[in-house]
Amino acid sequence: MVVDETTGDKEDKTGITRRRFTLGVIIASIAGALGSLLSLLKVLAPEKKGGGYVSTIKPGDRFIYAKGANTGDYIKVSSLNIGDAVLAFPEGKTSNHANIVQLIKLDESAYKAPTHIKYTDQGLVAYSAICTHLGCTVSWVENEKSPDTSYTECFCHNSIFDPTRGAKVLGGPAPIPLAQIGVKVRDDGTLVFTSDFTGPIGPQV
């Protein structure tokens, strides 16, 4: 009687091949699931350190109104009273939301460290208008009786910032202050940016 000694080998090889195939399918499935999970996490959780916000403001760019009846017009120091605040863009760069700033006018003596005094002029100070929590645009809450106690607030989640002290966080979930940017009054009364932002802009959570 002749025995086919190769049958067992074939069966063993077939079993190994099947196991390898099954293992490959399992690994591929796990990899695919992990990839989907990472993609989902990127959507649900904004990136840190600016969340993709990159400003294109350059020293010498002129301030223009970002909204209201004067949208697009140059902002002049004479048009702002103590206690006023407006949203502004650099001229010609309004399509990039990372460039939006809040321009504030208070008494010059109101500003204390860590405000960068060298980046203020004639009572004017400018900060990024993008909340460092989730990126909403901030608003101005004026105290007409005591302008120096006015403050910046993000109404999305109630983060509050002190413009007289480097936009430090007074309350709410924002993790860091709003970044300051330099402002200077030109001879013709219009305003120009004089620096880059002093820190990161956009959501930082």
| Residue 22 and residue 77 in one domain | no
Contact at 8 Å (CB) between 105 and 84?
Answer: yes
- pTM of the prediction? 0.75
Residue 87 lies in a domain: yes
Residue 51 lies in a domain: no
| Residue 105 and residue 8 in one domain | no
Contacts with 74 (C-beta within 8 Å, 6 or more apart), sequence order: 62, 63, 64, 91, 190, 191
**Is the pLDDT assigned to residue 48 strictly greater than 90?**
no
Mean pLDDT, residues 120-130 taken together: 98
Mean pLDDT, residues 93-105 taken together: 97
What is the rounded distance in angstroms from the CA atom of residue 41 to the CA atom of residue 140?
Answer: 33
| Residue 77 and residue 36 in one domain | no
What is the rounded distance in angstroms from the CA atom of residue 174 to the CA atom of residue 70?
Answer: 30
| Residue 70 and residue 127 in one domain | yes
Q: What is the mean pLDDT of the chain?
A: 86
pLDDT band at 35 (very low <50, low <70, confident <90, very high): low
Domain of 149? 63-193
pLDDT band at 41 (very low <50, low <70, confident <90, very high): very low
Residue 198 lies in a domain: no
**Is the pLDDT assigned to residue 34 strictly greater than 70?**
no
